[in-house]
Chains A and B, each alone.
Chain A
């Protein structure tokens, strides 16, 4: 599928009405609450956010496919394009840049020019959050959950975040394997 066509699908199926501040505040509150609940153990907060995202992703993929009406991707490069230009466009109205492919086409980076989840946010000033908390980690989980439902096992993590003072916000996505149809383990 050509890159232009993907852009068009993203543009057309984009939902244009949700108040950005509502999303930002809701998500921000969740993260702040998690930080409090986990006593500022940011590793645990990251993990929890990822898990929450995973659960969202597993359902969101259904909605995504229904809304966009896109078919199967031919390869992982197509998948990356679809995530950036359709998925993020539909749900967050942003289009991260796909870049830094490895030569075997199994790993790429998403560079976020803007991140609606992180508007207004300044990380806690405790000397650790800046190094340990990935504020938008829920997105990693969403991708993992969504792709797992369409037979792709991936691993996603942030490598930089403007909230930490980095120049860019970058997420690294790696394809682990295509999941073959398997018999459910418990059934005879």
Chain B
């Protein structure tokens, strides 16, 4: 059991490298901050490798903005700031997770697994089903985050990430030289978001 679990993880090492695109939108939908990064857990190099690199830059923006309607519905369904996985865009296999601050700023995280689901094959499926049954004992969170973008482990990891970004966002908003609704240019904030990504995703 332990062996069969480890093997697919090794074979499909590349498949566990998720690409992330994180954006902060103001309450009026103005983009305040963008960053792209990749999986750092489980030996990832933290570099984003989107499936369609030549169009990723604007497609990611497009996909994220297209989930705003769903976000606005989801925000009234429960009282928490973390809204978990709210939307999927199948053509790009992009999953959107959202976090809403009380003042209405939206944190949106797009995650994209590296290969189309069909090409991951049975081994990938086997890995995720195995994890589903034995996940609590193995705690192979690094692989499960990438193997299944909607798994509880992933949601928990993203929640931690969002909370850390939120903390830093509050500090940035308290900077007297930052004007509400302006683009966040602070290099300190960017470094901290990168660090949060490294730590949790």
Residues in chain A within 8 A of chain B (CB atoms): 21, 24-25, 27-29, 31-32, 35, 119-125
By secondary structure, the A interface counts as helix
Q: Contacts of B187 on A, CB cut-off 8 Å?
A: 125
Residues in chain B within 8 A of chain A (CB atoms): 171-172, 174-178, 185-188
Q: Contacts of B186 on A, CB cut-off 8 Å?
A: 122, 125
Give A157 to B185 CA distance when docked, in angstroms. Answer: 30
Determine how close the nearest CB of chain B comes to the CB of A22; give it in whole angstroms.
Answer: 12
Give A32 to B178 CA distance when docked, in angstroms. Answer: 9
Is the pair B174, A125 in contact by a Cβ cutoff of 8 Å? no
Give A24 to B178 CA distance when docked, in angstroms. Answer: 14
Give A120 to B189 CA distance when docked, in angstroms. Answer: 11
A-B contact pairs, 15 of them (CB 8 A): A21-B174, A25-B174, A28-B177, A31-B176, A32-B177, A120-B171, A120-B174, A120-B175, A120-B176, A121-B176, A121-B177, A122-B175, A122-B186, A122-B188, A123-B177
Is the pair B177, A25 in contact by a Cβ cutoff of 8 Å? no
The 4 closest A-B pairs by CB, nearest first: A28-B176, A120-B174, A32-B176, A124-B177
Q: Contacts of B177 on A, CB cut-off 8 Å?
A: 28, 32, 35, 121-124
Q: Contacts of A31 on B, CB cut-off 8 Å?
A: 176
